[in-house]
Amino acid sequence: MQIFQYPDQSQWAALQQRAAAQQAQEVEQRVLGIFQDVRQRGDVALRDYAQQFDGVQLQDLRVTPEEIAAAAAQVPAELQTAIRQAHANILRFHEAQRPHEERVETMPGVLCWRRAVPVQRVGLYIPGGTAPLFSTLLMLGVPARLAGCPEVVLTTPPQKDGSVNAVILFTAQLLGISTIIKAGGAQAIAALTGGTDSVPAVDKIFGPGNRFVTAAKQLATRYGVAIDMPAGPSEVLIIADDSAVPAFVAADLLSQAEHGPDSQVILLSDSMSVIEQTKAEIARQLTTLPRAAVASQALEESRAILLRTPEEMLYFSNQYAPEHLILAVRNPEQLGEGVTSAGSVFLGHYTPEAVGDYASGTNHTLPTNGYARNYSGVSLDSFLKKITFQRITTEGLLNVGPVVETMAEAEGLSAHARAVTLRLEAITGD
């Protein structure tokens, strides 16, 4: 872990840089080629990519009902119980986000309201590989179901034997998702964007992934498909004062570092002792992790920065806009009042970020790479569209009509004005 002591603010921008990624242009060109291939060859292309990237020959891209039903028997009872409890917590938190339709009379006889309707077709991308993220399926599937989306399509990479991870299938069954596609990477996003014989095209795509998946989601928007947000490699920033427990801080940093080699972790502290003890704890705990090699790669880009005050640390954090922000300080709620840019905030010494990843109830699909400056994490709203309605009585048109006539004529849009004038004349008989 690189340590920086009291850097000048002119150096902050460099310290806030994310880990160097593969050339964006090169990634985009490769993804564009995959999109064109999938659009031209459909299922055949998806099977070829499964052979190339996943090392498996697939006959059927869709998971069968029998495969889904058999999955529960392969999931340990203790894990099933944990997933059901997490599901209940996530459901409870997201249910509280249901919008209320309210009718507003802006002038006598002019009634306006807004109605929330579900996105009709949504695609959920769940990464597989070395860490199949069934927890992400909960985070996306619960609000999709609460919103009432009529069609939910799940794509996830197949395993070497051609199956889908049993825990992912168990979770899908719990959520009532039956359209499950064995496809991963940019090719899965391409299939959800344009559709194939096996994969229904969708209106909006959700889910995290590597740089190729992120680039594919952004490319999907060019074809009229919406996405949740640009969500790339995971990251955490911890603000720790001298009340922090170094073992806790180290564990939180490692919990993000183990996600992948391009994850980024940053520690800010006003105590050099905390920084040094945390660094020692990282080295000690790292030796016990099964994913130590992955975490070690991520730690090569990690930084510990000594600053002067909690307020200065918060200022740095708001500029960085982390996906996850942990406030390991004496007065976390007080400091938390000043947070303006973060995906999700974890207050105090006994609120590990891992709890939000799994079971507190908040959503863990969050903006990364600084997008927390202008994006929110996934919520029930992400699966809803808001449509405005209005109804105007004759009294209402008499009230608001002259306003519209005056404004329309001032903009030189006479037909707009005439649409009102003709009705006013019909009402008044003039």
Question: Which residues are annotated as catalytic?
Answer: 323-324
Question: 3-state class of 228 per DSSP?
Answer: coil
Is 324 annotated in a binding site? The answer is yes
Q: Closest Cα to residue 301, out of 345, 341, 271, 256?
A: 256
Q: Which DSSP state fits 254?
A: H
Q: What share of the chain is helix, strand, coil (3-state, %, to 5)?
A: 50, 15, 35
Is 43 annotated in a binding site? The answer is no
Q: CA 61 to CA 46: how far, in whole Å?
A: 8
Do strands 303-306 and 324-328 pair parallel, antiparallel, or not at all (unpaired)?
unpaired
Q: Closest Cα to residue 117, out of 384, 370, 363, 362?
A: 384
* Two structure tokens written together for 205: 């795509």
Contact 305, 7 (CB under 8 A): yes
Q: CA 28 to CA 186: how far, in whole Å?
A: 10
Q: CA 152 to CA 119: how far, in whole Å?
A: 10
CA–CA distances in Å: residue 197 to residues 52, 62, 105: 20, 10, 49
Strand order in the sheet with 264-269: 2-5, 303-306, 264-269, 235-240, 324-328, 344-347
Is 5 annotated in a binding site? The answer is no
Contact 280, 209 (CB under 8 A): no
Contact 351, 249 (CB under 8 A): no
Q: CA 76 to CA 367: how far, in whole Å?
A: 32
Secondary element (H or E) of residue 113: strand 110-118
Is 234 annotated in a binding site? The answer is yes
- Burial pattern 96-119, b for ≥16 Cβ within 10 A else e, equals eeeeeeeeeeeeebbbeeeebebb
Is 262 annotated in a binding site? The answer is no
Is 97 annotated in a binding site? The answer is no
Secondary element (H or E) of residue 350: none
Feature table: binding site for Zn(2+): 256, 259, 357, 416
Feature table: binding site: 125, 187, 210, 234, 256, 259, 324, 357, 411, 416
Feature table: binding site for substrate: 234, 256, 259, 324, 357, 411, 416
Feature table: binding site for NAD(+): 125, 187, 210
